[in-house]
Amino acid sequence: MKKYLILLITISLVYSCKSVKTKNSNSNTTSENTSEEDSINHFKATGNEPFWELKIGMKKIVFTSLIQGKENLSFSSAKPIRAMGANIKSYKASNANSSITISIQHTDRQNSMSGAISPYKVSIEIKNNTEANYQKTEGCGKYITDYRLHDIWVLEELNGYKVFVADFQKEFPRIEIHAEENRFMGFGGCNSITGSLFFENDLLRFSSITSTLMACAENNKEDKFVKALQNSTTYSIKNNLLTLSNPSGKLLVFRKVD
């Protein structure tokens, strides 16, 4: 128990936080999930006073704490409920002994000790079924970008059609995704490109895309490739293929090369 207490205190020192100015984002679609995703935790949060940790995955919600009677609780995962007009998601879950309500708001939270910023405020209400009232606590959280995206991907299809080297400048477009840093770099078919990722469990956006300024041949499809990348909102990974889509349909298909 002493070792467990020390571990949770250490975690809480990293994530102990307070509210700071909100940043905006857009989220309005659902990603495709494969069976491999079932074991992936896509959100993690921590807090203190009392010390706690939350993990949300495709199959389970796990709440671990030093609260008496709520040391290690597991719930079947639930679909999030979205608030109208705000980037706030709520989860409600229960098991035979306990109930939990989780609210995740996209607003920056600052570590009160280190000054580090976390992008989400997390509010939790939890109680055992024998209790009349919920216990409330708050903390910091972040989405965990799917580790399977971390790779080099070479383009195979653009807007539903197979691509050829002649469509570009000597070689196919590619992207190299760095999942932990939420950034990417690559080749657009004529120019080098870089940018950032915005990831939630049901959203993947490629944003802040910049490129070098080399003049391209008239038939080069780099502009169409970059536009499709910017318009994609969801993804799936299967058989070493990364498919990017939006509500209108499939936009890009890449093959993993390393």
Instruction: Using alpha carbons, select from 143, 165, 166, 139 the residue that is nearest to residue 154.
Output: 165
Q: Specify the pLDDT at position 91.
A: 95
For 6, 14, 119, 149, 210, the CA distances from 81, given in Å and listed in that order, are: 35, 28, 19, 26, 35
Q: pLDDT 10s digit of each residue in the chain, 258 long?
A: 444 444 444 444 444 565 554 444 443 434 444 455 556 789 999 988 788 999 999 899 999 998 888 999 999 988 888 887 778 999 999 999 999 999 999 998 876 656 678 899 999 999 999 999 999 999 999 999 999 999 999 999 999 999 999 999 889 999 999 999 999 999 999 999 999 999 987 789 999 999 999 999 989 999 999 999 999 999 999 999 999 999 999 999 999 997
Cα distance between residue 87 and residue 28, in whole Å: 10
Type and span of the H or E element at 223: helix 222-231
Tokens found for residue 193:
């490109």
Under 8 Å between Cβ of 170 and 142: no
Q: Specify the pLDDT at position 104.
A: 95
Cα distance between residue 236 and residue 44, in whole Å: 22
pTM: 0.75
